[in-house]
Chain A
Amino acid sequence: MLRTTGLTKRFGGLTAVDEVDFELGTELCSLIGPNGAGKTTFFDLLTGVLEPTAGSIELRRDGDWVDVTDASPDETAAMGVHRSYQITNVFPTLTVLENVRVAAQAHGDDAATFWRNVDAYDEYVAEARAVLERVGLADRADDVAQNLSHGASRQLEVAVALAGDPDVLLLDEPNAGVSSESVGDIVDLIEDVAEDHAVLLVEHNMDIVMEVSDRVVVLNQGAVIADDEPSAVRENPAVQEAYLGGYEPGDLEDRNADESGAGRDTDSGGVA
């Protein structure tokens, strides 16, 4: 679906992403690594927010690889690569429904229409309601986004990314800051969207990573140090050294009891 070749990003002397060769198929691939490993920078490169220093990004479109290295964020989105954000990044004073509706509208042909009332376009409302149904926010449709609880706003974050039926979903810590009772909902949601999308997931909670992923890629200091099945990555000594030091698999259903069941890097999520 998406691949990078020698993708590199330098900020002055700092190499945030270092010659990453990566290919995402129709799978749920997790991207893990300590803070500052370059995960979010990698997302920013894939979505055109940042321009790579070197290397290329290609997307599979109708059976052909298309170069999107220089595409802008709106162009990558239009080509079916959507992302969600680590820190909730929606339209705060709009309602939940309107948040998703405006995202759905971006993928139709009517976004630039300025002479017809927005209510004339039922299809986007219908699509938005279907997305809300899927993420479990259907009964909050008329709430204003900034009044949502943290857990619900994380669901909305994914809903906005899901609108417009993308091919590739880049989810940046959808669980960040979610209380342990609500983590299960978001995990279910991740597994659900992975059914019909290629998903690249950044996640700090190792229990979730081990449970949901088809494949795990480990970044350290901008470079890929492991790329394998979850169980193989867990046993990889280099990964243990860089990131997973002391990680013991916990039970996802029983995470309240097992507070140590995450990687050592849990500042922004995972364990409540």
Chain B
Amino acid sequence: MLVILALVAYPAVYHLLTNSPVANLAVAVLPRMDSMVAVLYFALFAMSFDFISGYTGYLSFGHAAFYGTGAYVVILIANGKVPLLPPGTPFVVSLLIAAVLAALLAVVIGLVSFRLTGVYFAMITLGFAQVMYVFVRGWDYVASNPRDGPAVGSTHAEGFGIGIPFVDQLNLAIGSFTGDTVTLLGHELGTYTVSFYMVGLVVLLSYFAMQRVIHSPFGRVMIAIRENEERAEAIGYDTFRYKLGAFVMSAFFGGVAGALFAGFRRSVTPENTFYFLVTGDALLASIIGGFGTLAGPLYGHLFDHGVREFLSNRGQGGGLLPYLQETLSEGLLTTQLPGGISVQGFIQAALNGHASLYVGIVFVLVVLYVPSGILGTVRSRLGGKLSETLPARVWGDR
């Protein structure tokens, strides 16, 4: 609950701080608004990965296939390339269609893959996703240059609206240039901020839906399968059906995440959808945030993304490098260090474009010292869920 409030307040805090005396610092440390939108939809993808991998113990290394399916379907519908669905199909409808198609794909992949367990399952799902990656890269129906992927064309110039389909008043468009701006209580909310809230709304609903499943009888069977599949079968569960069901649900939400991504960015490439490193990022987020915690991947991805942006070489505001170059004095920057390198040069060499290196080091440290991840560790330290234990800690047991 606290986290939701914090996220809801983020745009205001960001706006306030970047216009305050500590603006330089704030710009350097805080992720930008458009990054936060990306954090949200990708966190949903990471959660859907955690839903199957962290709760049933089956590592879905081909999860990018569902993210990619969700993303491509949205773009193809918007470009009028899907039969029966005109370019004007409301985004919420195409999002649901994309998610259902991702779920159907999961039925096919799952029927084959769940004959295997352990690392073999991970490998065969990875194989499926890579086949789709190669296929999409070569399929010239989706885009004139399929290697670069499709973008939303002129048939769908306006932003994708999230809200009640066919009711314009209850829709707010998302996207960096095409999204809506809203004036609320005298403040104008920019397109990024509106996108942030609307994408956040879908992510939040999806999170609650997955949370619901985890805490249902079905979810308990998923956990039983993770804990001891042999015994789960011996006490009377047809584990194949439960695994397949969980896989399909997880693919559905993976598809939703992909659709949100496509709706916000309006262009996709095979590399940022179907490629195996996309699953890798979800795995990273899940491990840093806490495997089998569902909400953990959000923190994990926020952390991963925050560190990357903080250490990025982007010149356009944000990050440590521009911050140091701006705030350190000229004299200090040109000071020679031992070895004939200036401070300026050292900062450049250490920070420019090496974010992945530092994230990698952090990742290794997390796996070694915080194996249950951020949320997993906090939960076990406090002895339960934050929402239950934190109030008791702050106010004492009343």
Residues of chain B lying within 8 A (CB to CB) of residue A105? 217, 220-221
Residues of chain A lying within 8 A (CB to CB) of residue B228? 89-92
- Give A78's nearest chain B residue, CB to CB: B236
Within 8 A of B (CB), among A61-100: 72-75, 77-78, 82-83, 85, 89-94, 98
Is B223 part of the contact surface with A, judged by Cβ < 8 Å? yes
Residues of chain B lying within 8 A (CB to CB) of residue A106? 221, 235-237
Residues of chain B lying within 8 A (CB to CB) of residue A164? 235-236
Residues of chain A lying within 8 A (CB to CB) of residue B231? 85, 89-91, 160
Checking B217, B227, B235, B245 against A77 with a beta-carbon cut-off of 8 angstroms, the contacting residue is B235
Q: Would you call A118 and B212 a contact (CB within 8 A)?
A: no
Report the minimal beta-carbon distance from B87 to chain A, rounded to whole angstroms. Answer: 34
- Give A109's nearest chain B residue, CB to CB: B217
Within 8 A of A (CB), among B215-236: 215-221, 223-224, 227-228, 230-236
Is B239 part of the contact surface with A, judged by Cβ < 8 Å? yes
Bound form: Cα–Cα A103–B228 in Å: 12
Bitwise interface map of A from 164 to 197 toward B, beta carbon under 8 Å scored 1, else 0: 1000000000000000000000000000000000
Is B140 part of the contact surface with A, judged by Cβ < 8 Å? no
A112-B233 contact, Cβ under 8 Å, with A102-B221, A105-B217:
no
Bound form: Cα–Cα A93–B238 in Å: 21
Q: Would you call A117 and B215 a contact (CB within 8 A)?
A: yes
- Give B218's nearest chain A residue, CB to CB: A114
Q: Would you call A114 and B227 a contact (CB within 8 A)?
A: no
Bound form: Cα–Cα A115–B215 in Å: 9
Checking B219, B221, B234 against A83 with a beta-carbon cut-off of 8 angstroms, the contacting residue is B234
Q: Would you call A118 and B217 a contact (CB within 8 A)?
A: yes
Bound form: Cα–Cα A113–B218 in Å: 6
Q: Would you call B230 and A74 a contact (CB within 8 A)?
A: no
How large, as a class, is the contact surface on chain A?
A: 35 or more
Report the minimal beta-carbon distance from A139 to chain B, rounded to whole angstroms. Answer: 20
Is A111 part of the contact surface with B, judged by Cβ < 8 Å? yes
Q: Would you call A74 and B237 a contact (CB within 8 A)?
A: yes
Q: Would you call B219 and A73 a contact (CB within 8 A)?
A: no
Report the minimal beta-carbon distance from B216 to chain A, rounded to whole angstroms. Answer: 5
Bound form: Cα–Cα A78–B232 in Å: 12
Bound form: Cα–Cα A93–B249 in Å: 24
Residues of chain B lying within 8 A (CB to CB) of residue A89? 228, 230-231, 234
Checking A77, A118, A160, A163 against B216 with a beta-carbon cut-off of 8 angstroms, the contacting residue is A118
Report the minimal beta-carbon distance from B208 to chain A, rounded to whole angstroms. Answer: 12
A93-B227 contact, Cβ under 8 Å, with A47-B234, A111-B237, A164-B235:
yes
Is B213 part of the contact surface with A, judged by Cβ < 8 Å? yes
Q: Would you call A118 and B219 a contact (CB within 8 A)?
A: yes
Q: Would you call B238 and A72 a contact (CB within 8 A)?
A: yes
A117-B216 contact, Cβ under 8 Å, with A90-B228, A93-B227:
yes
Q: Would you call A82 and B217 a contact (CB within 8 A)?
A: no
Q: Would you call A103 and B217 a contact (CB within 8 A)?
A: no
Could you list which residues of chain B lie within 8 angstroms of chain A, going by C-beta atoms? 212-213, 215-221, 223-224, 227-228, 230-239, 241-242, 245, 249
* Selected A-B contacts with CB under 8 Å, 27 pairs: A72-B238, A74-B234, A77-B233, A77-B234, A77-B236, A82-B235, A85-B231, A89-B230, A91-B231, A92-B228, A102-B235, A105-B217, A106-B235, A111-B218, A112-B217, A112-B218, A112-B245, A113-B217, A114-B218, A114-B219, A114-B245, A115-B212, A117-B215, A117-B216, A118-B217, A118-B219, A164-B235
Instruction: Given contacts A111-B218, A160-B231, list 12 more A-B pairs with CB under 8 A.
Output: A74-B239, A77-B234, A89-B234, A94-B223, A101-B220, A102-B232, A107-B236, A114-B216, A114-B249, A115-B216, A116-B216, A119-B215
